[in-house]
Amino acid sequence: MLFTERLVNLGDVQLSIAEAGAGQRRLLLVHGFTGAKEDFTSWLDRLAGLGWHAVAPDLRGHGASSKPAEESAYSFGCWPMTSSGLLTRSAGKGSSCSGIRWAA
């Protein structure tokens, strides 16, 4: 199985995602500040093999996703809409989320 990449339109932004295992239980893999979906791409096929629909997005302002000019487009209030939008636009059963943050 090989992961694929596509753009997901969430209305105010388009997010670039990498994914594998469509139709299985969803696992949203979220990078931290200055990260990108590529932080997780080496894991996507293995997770799909374990029964997950693994989805790794470039969050707004990162990688190949939209980069809105307004500072308000990056508020913490945007995260719930972004994550639920991604999960509802990816086929699967149930959902889980995991994140990574590289900081001291």
Class assignment of domain 4-99? alpha beta
| DSSP structural state of residue 71 | G
pLDDT at 55: 93
Q: From CA 26, how far away is CA 84, in angstroms rounded?
A: 12
Give residue-wise pLDDT tens across range 35-59: 899 999 999 999 999 999 999 999 9
Domain boundaries, the chain: 4-99
Q: Provide the pLDDT for residue 102.
A: 61
Which regions of the chain are under pLDDT 70?
A: 1, 89-93, 101-104
pTM attached to this predicted model = 0.85
